[in-house]
């Protein structure tokens, strides 16, 4: 059964346009509170954690969600600006029924959204999302006055999360001697990531750590790496680390300012674990993962499985296979033996463990994997699109696949977070791949109107 509001990663859109409005968030808080109280507390009293990133609209939606939740008889703990994975962690460690993150991740400040975590710190299963959508169809009612929820602000949330991050590395692990440039995207990691790295001994050069409510992801962060690359070269840093607005993605640049993407970071973590005897049989990627990652892992003796795009699907396949490592080229990396969801800081530390073991040579570590040229073009569409309804699109894809043969692959998929269809072509020859992707994207745009 399709969902009206929930996409691949919660509910997201432009602030002021339905459903990203204050009145909807009030109703969503109430509806989710009713479901959490019923499904997770047997209609008893329960607690929900709320965290947010640094966008100005977060104030409005935090208040609206809070009002809806307490009207449903749910207690609330407010964390303030915190990375998405920190909310997942606090949901578990505070014995809460659920966690809510107010964030649009890597999107500009004009957008916002809501992500949910269950009591286990993992994304909500489909049946709970369906239950919330069904509850949204009911009239909002307030519990009796003696059952109205209470609200508490957790003042030491940042310190707790910093200590957790440091606890994920070996006790004797230090970053002394490394000069690291860190870009926090003016987002939720601005007061977390620099402290974690400096307290582990690194010399830290910061950027993107002055959020004003409007500058999140603007020319900074993991979706715009040019400024970090320039900073690394200018300050002669050993490497650079960039997070997205809500801190669940991470990308690196090496000492020359060259991008090290999520596929390469997964490869580095996986092969280091293999070399140190801490590896599972395989790793999970997605349909978008570079073919070079699959081939390099197989050459190393590791299996590779592809899930649908979205960290929830990566996590599901990891659990099904009994593996602890998975990720996406965008920088969503899940280390399930450490935490329950994609965590940019935790993943960065896992990479840094491998970098230290290699004498600080990030470029050398990435050299074990050869990336195939891959081009992706986002085709704007008017709304949700079911590609099965467009047979001419499939014929266009088939023609490109026939031209590539076994030398590459084609992938079309509707975005789960934006009104776009993503067109991806991958192959051996960069010029051919670029031309084929451009031509296919133009044809898809024409066919989809």
Q: Which structure tokens are listed for 426?
A: 């991958």
Catalytic residue among 32, 57, 103, 105: 105
Q: How far apart are CA 151 and CA 106, in angstroms?
A: 29
Q: 195 an active-site residue?
A: no
Q: Which string of DSSP letters, residue by residue, matches 206-267?
A: EES----SS-TTSS-STT--HHHHHHHHHHT-SEEEEE-TTSSBEEEE-TT--EE-HHHHHH
Q: How many CB atoms lie within 10 A of CB 286?
A: 25
Give the distance from CA 89 to its chain's centroid: 15
Report the candidate in 128, 112, 125, 165 with the shortest Cα–Cα distance to residue 34.
Answer: 128
The answer to whether 73 and 147 are in contact (CB under 8 A) is yes
The answer to whether 417 and 12 are in contact (CB under 8 A) is yes
> How is the chain split among helix, strand and coil, in percent rounded to 5?
40, 20, 40
Strand (E) or helix (H) holding 278:
none
Tally of helices (H runs) and strands (E runs) in the chain: 14, 18
- Distances in Å between the Cα of 305 and the Cα atoms of 50, 286, 291, 406, 410 are 34, 8, 11, 19, 17
- Distances in Å between the Cα of 317 and the Cα atoms of 29, 36, 360 are 30, 26, 32
Active site residues: 105
């Amino acid at each position: 059964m399709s969902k009206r509001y929930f996409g691949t990663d919660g509910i997201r859109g432009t602030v002021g346009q339905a459903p990203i409005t204050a009145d909807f968030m009030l109703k969503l808080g109430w509806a989710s509170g009713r479901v959490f109280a019923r499904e997770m507390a047997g209609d008893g009293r329960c607690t929900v954690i709320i965290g947010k990133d640094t966008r100005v609209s977060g104030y409005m939606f935090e208040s609206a969600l809070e009002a809806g939740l307490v009207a449903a008889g749910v207690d609330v703990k407010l964390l303030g600006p915190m990375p998405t994975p920190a909310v997942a962690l606090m949901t578990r460690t505070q014995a809460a029924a659920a966690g809510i993150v107010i964030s649009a991740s890597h999107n500009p400040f004009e957008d916002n959204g809501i992500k949910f975590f269950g009591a286990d710190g993992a994304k909500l299963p489909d049946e709970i999302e369906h239950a919330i959508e069904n509850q949204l169809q009911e009239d909002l009612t307030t519990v009796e006055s003696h059952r109205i929820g209470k609200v508490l602000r957790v003042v030491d949330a940042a310190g707790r999360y910093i200590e957790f991050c440091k606890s994920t590395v070996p006790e004797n692990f230090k970053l002394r001697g490394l000069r690291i440039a860190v870009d926090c995207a003016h987002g939720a990691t601005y007061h977390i990531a620099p402290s974690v790295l400096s307290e582990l001994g690194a010399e830290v050069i910061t950027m993107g750590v002055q959020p004003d409510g409007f500058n999140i992801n603007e020319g900074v962060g993991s979706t715009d790496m040019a400024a970090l690359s320039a900073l690394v070269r200018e300050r002669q840093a050993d490497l650079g680390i960039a997070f997205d607005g809500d801190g669940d993605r991470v990308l690196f640049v090496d000492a020359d300012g060259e991008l090290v993407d999520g596929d390469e970071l997964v490869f580095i973590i996986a092969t280091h674990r293999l070399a140190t005897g801490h590896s599972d049989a395989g790793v999970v990627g997605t349909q978008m993962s570079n073919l070079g990652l699959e081939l390099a892992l197989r050459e190393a003796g590791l299996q590779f499985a592809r899930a649908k795009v979205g960290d929830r699907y990566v996590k599901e396949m990891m659990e099904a296979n009994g593996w602890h490592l998975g990720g996406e080229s965008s920088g969503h990396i899940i280390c399930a033996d450490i935490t329950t969801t994609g965590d940019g800081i935790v993943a960065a530390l896992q990479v840094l463990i491998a970098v230290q073991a290699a004498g600080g040579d990030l470029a050398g570590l990435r050299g074990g994997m050869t990336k195939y040229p891959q081009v992706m073009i986002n085709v704007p569409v008017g709304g949700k699109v079911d590609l099965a309804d467009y047979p001419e699109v499939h014929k266009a894809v088939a023609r490109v696949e026939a031209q590539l043969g076994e030398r590459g692959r084609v992938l079309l998929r509707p975005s789960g977070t934006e009104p776009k269809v993503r067109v991806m072509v991958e192959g051996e020859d960069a010029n051919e791949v670029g031309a084929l992707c451009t031509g296919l994207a133009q044809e898809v745009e024409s066919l989809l109107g």
